[in-house]
Homo-oligomer: A and B are copies of this chain.
Amino acid sequence: MSAVIDGNGANALAPRIVGVSLAERSYEIVIGPGILDEAGRRIAEVLPGARMAVIADETVAGLHLDRLALSLTAAGIGFETMILPAGETTKSYDNLITVVERIIGGRFERGDAVLALGGGVIGDLAGFASAIVKRGMAFVQMPTSLLAQVDSSVGGKTGINSPQGKNLVGAFHQPSLVLADTALLDTLSPREFAAGYAEVVKYGLIDRPEFFAWLEDNREAIFAGGEARIAAIATACEAKAAVVAEDETEQGARALLNLGHTFGHALERTARYDASRLVHGEGVAIGICLAHRFSETLGLAPKGDAARVEAHFAAAGLPTRIGQIPGETPKLGELMDAIGQDKKVTRGTLTFILTRGIGRAFVERKVDPDKVAEFLTRELNP
């Protein structure tokens, strides 16, 4: 933690490099402002001679694609660009097929790479395409949203949505390199920045209480940009990389990363995935608060921790209670159904990530659905 807390005065804005250790699939995450202009050089080092199929959404392409193109050209890297609409509905079978056919038509080979420039939507879709063209091409992630920089670009989960549910179709396919330009976040909307920030806080709450305390002291600096932002993103990536190295294909330990997500996904579902009402990170913020309050109710966590978490999210401009979601409040039955859909109900019990207090989350496989319903009844009628 010392590097994060102390900063590094002499070389304040030098990029931070976080390694993801996965034997022959290991790779580096490079984090810092201005990385976009070094992209060509850094990619050529890791994938010499590879051509790039660059995928971006319209918003990000309009803002940042020209600079990427310049950097690739300067490094002598050949590329083609494919631009898709922005938004969650882009993660569809149709767009996947379009991208795959464009890559094949561009005569890209297995040693060439798909380069995702964008948020989690583009990263997930482009990564999945790279996993299945010719049974696997190289893949480079250039995450441009805070959520993508601290979560979706790290760990190799790729995929699209099925009409039957989110992220149900995909592959584990690790990138060869992740380039996170922290200055690109300056064009992100404050709402999307805050949503991504919920995932940053999550890592502190799972098992890094000192990181959570540091976030409490540095939140404004992180939102402002600069050294604190780089440090926060690097620590989040380190936290995720550690879990991924232990459990690449989500057999066990990786489950802790779902802190707040069972409640959060249920809220996203009952809000009909309407981003004007609730984006993912907002659902996670409320979900994390619910997980802490539920743990307190069950007598697992000390009184006061839930309130501290709630205060931090609120200060960051995030919602913390179900009642804050615009539109109709979900009914208890709807919410319980949505929870049952997200998690397999094993012999009448539910699996939740609960906590013994800040930085002490754990997996509980035997949660009594009646206890959840009782708790949510109070949350829905405060």
Which residues of A come within 8 Å of B, CB atoms? Answer: 93, 97, 100-101, 104-105, 109, 131-136, 157, 159, 162-165, 168-172, 249-250, 344
Q: Kindly provide the distance from the CB of A33 to the nearest chain B CB, expressed in whole angstroms.
A: 33
Q: Are B101 and A163 in contact (CB under 8 A)?
A: yes
Write out the residue numbers on chain B whose beta carbons fall within 8 Å of the beta carbon of A170: 132, 134-135
Which residues on the B side are within 8 Å of A135 (C-beta)?
Answer: 157, 159, 170-172, 249-250
**Which residues of B lie under 8 Å from residue A97 when comparing CB positions?**
93
Using Cβ atoms and an 8 Å threshold, which residues of chain B touch A104?
162, 164-165, 168-169
A163, closest chain B residue (CB) = B101
Q: So how many copies of this chain end up in the complex? A: 2
- CB neighbours (8 Å) of A172 from chain B are 135-136
Shortest C-beta distance, A371 to chain B (Å), equals 24
- List 16 extra interface pairs beyond A131-B171, A132-B170, A134-B169, CB under 8 A: A93-B93, A93-B97, A100-B162, A101-B162, A101-B163, A104-B164, A109-B344, A132-B132, A133-B169, A134-B168, A135-B159, A135-B170, A135-B171, A136-B172, A136-B249, A171-B171
Bound Cα distance A132, B97 (Å): 14
Residues of B within 8 A of A109 (CB): 344
Give the shortest distance, in Å, between A171 (CB) and chain B (any CB).
6
